[in-house]
Structure 1
Amino acid sequence: MATTHVFTGLAVVAPVAALVPEFALPLAIGAILGGLAPDFDLVFAHRRTLHFPVSGVALAGPAVVAAVAVPSSATVALAAFAVAAWLHAASDALGGGPEMDPWNDRSERAVYDHVRSRWIRPRRLIRYDGAPEDAALAVALAVPALVVFDGWIRAVVIGGVAVSLAYALLRRRLVAWVPDWLE
């Protein structure tokens, strides 16, 4: 789920935000946007166009180094964005495929590796987005953000938890509601 990716990014930056609270807001914004950004390829070749599970570290690593070397709102937000986007792409290999009904295990394509020019196979530790284990993981990953962040970030996390749980309850039924042209 997109929310699981957002909560992963927030969980990664939460310890930094707790240690350096003046950067909490840019860290959170960067993590939220980075957790969402790869899925903007839903309208293109999903999990291929904007997902970089291997090469994404080539941007994330230097962005973190830059944020440590020259800490500013911009550098820490960029680092949080890059790390969250990379973790999103890399973790997609742990789930099912990108098809609308991955519980049928139809695809052996989880996410595209641009370095090797091939698809990484799905590991199915999370059977599909919105599976009960995905909802449980999302809730667990939301906890650090709920502890560290306040204000509207906390409200976004609480709303995201509600969306995660609702989506998990409806996920398998949603396929019947999706127009054929989206499949």
Structure 2
Amino acid sequence: MMNTTHAAMGVALAAPLAVVAPELAPVAALPGLAGGVFPDLDLLSGQHRRTLHFPVYYSVAALGASALALVVGGSAALAAAFFLLSAALHCVTDAAGGGLELRPWEATDDRGVYVHPAKRWVRPRRWIRYDGAPEDLLLVGLFSLPGLLLFDGVVRQLTVVGLALSVVYVAVRKRLPELETRYLR
């Protein structure tokens, strides 16, 4: 999935707060967005979906941070809980997409996301065939609705930017491998 899809999912996690505790919603939405983006920073390491993708560890940490936020309260605990929840969701949903190959629509790679405690890769399910597929654009559109309808200010602005970037990325996605092999190698 596109990074913007993961970011929109992170904002969507905070949507219930926009209804029940609107003053806390931005405190959850922005870390949710950041947590959705964070795991993909491992693209810079050359070991994508392994270096910063921790589906099990983020999930366990998110449970602890959520419990802390419920018991102790406070903006910092709430922000940490939503960051970790969103990072966990990112890692788990990466297995719903394609593999790690340069042209994931060819479906030649069986690495979806690495599960560190099991020391193995979970195979990609390809429900979203590849990042930037038309169904990925549909998904980011659906997950962006809470950011557009329930939030204002910076959350809404970032959601609009994410949608615009998604449209451009989908339009050029299948040309990127050719550009990379031609100009970056």
How does the TM-score come out when normalised to structure 1? 0.95
Aligned pairs for 1:93-108 (under 5 A) are 93-108=95-110
1:100 Cα deviation (Å)?
2.2
Q: Which runs of 5+ in 2 are unaligned?
A: none
Check if 1:79 corresponds to 2:81: yes
1:179 Cα deviation (Å)?
5.0
Paired residues in the alignment total 183
Give me the CA root mean square deviation: 1.5
Q: Which runs of 5+ in 1 are unaligned?
A: none
1:22 Cα deviation (Å)?
1.5
Check if 1:43 corresponds to 2:31: no
For residues 181 and 169 of structure 1, what CA distance do their matches in structure 2 show? 19
Aligned pairs for 1:1-183 (under 5 A) are 1-44=2-45, 45-179=47-181
Distance 1:112 1:73, change over 3 A: same
Deviation per residue, 1:56-115 (Å, 9 max, x gap) = 211011111111112211111101100000000010000001222111111000100111
Identity of aligned residues (%): 45
Deviation per residue, 1:14-34 (Å, 9 max, x gap) = 112321112122211111110
Counterpart secondary structure, 1:175:
helix
| Runs ≥4 residues deviating over 2 A | 179-183
For residues 99 and 57 of structure 1, what CA distance do their matches in structure 2 show? 26
Counterpart secondary structure, 2:109:
coil
Counterpart secondary structure, 2:114:
strand
For residues 28 and 182 of structure 2, what CA distance do their matches in structure 1 show? 39
